[in-house]
Amino acid sequence: MLLLDYSAKKEQMLQEYYAQLEPQIETGEPWSDAHTWTILTGEVEILIRDTLQLYHDLIRADEFHHYCATTQSQYPYAQQDVQFDALFHKLHTLVEKEIALAAQFAQHGYSPKSYEDLVECCRAVEVLLADESPIYTSEAFQTVLQHSLDDIKAGRVVEMPPEPL
Partner 1 sequence: MALRSVGTATFWQQYRALPEPIRRLARTTYRQFLQDPWHASFHRKKPSALERLHPPIYEFRITRQYRALCQVEGEEYCWIFIGDHVAFDREVRRLAR
Q: How far is the CB of 136 from partner 1 (least distance, A)?
A: 4
Q: How far is the CB of 141 from partner 1 (least distance, A)?
A: 7
Our CB check for partner 1 shows the closer of 23 and 162 to be 162
Q: How far is the CB of 88 from partner 1 (least distance, A)?
A: 8
Spatial contact of 59 and 4, defined as CB atoms under 8 Å apart: no
Our CB check for partner 1 shows the closer of 27 and 137 to be 137
Q: How far is the CB of 53 from partner 1 (least distance, A)?
A: 16
Phi-psi group of 109: left, alpha or beta (phi > 0 → left; psi -120 to 50 → alpha; rest → beta): left
List the Cα angle 75/76/79 in 5-degree steps: 155
- Chain residues in the site for partner 1 (CB under 8 A): 59, 62-63, 65-67, 69-71, 77-78, 81, 84, 88, 120, 123-124, 127-128, 132-138, 140-141, 144-145, 147-149, 151-152, 156-160, 164-165
Rounded Cα gap, residues 136 and 64, in angstroms? 26
Our CB check for partner 1 shows the closer of 16 and 116 to be 116
Rounded Cα gap, residues 30 and 28, in angstroms? 6
Helix or strand holding residue 53 (H, E)? helix 34-71
List the Cα angle 98/5/123 in 5-degree steps: 35
Our CB check for partner 1 shows the closer of 29 and 139 to be 139
Spatial contact of 90 and 15, defined as CB atoms under 8 Å apart: yes
Our CB check for partner 1 shows the closer of 34 and 140 to be 140
Q: How far is the CB of 41 from partner 1 (least distance, A)?
A: 28
Rounded Cα gap, residues 97 and 72, in angstroms? 38
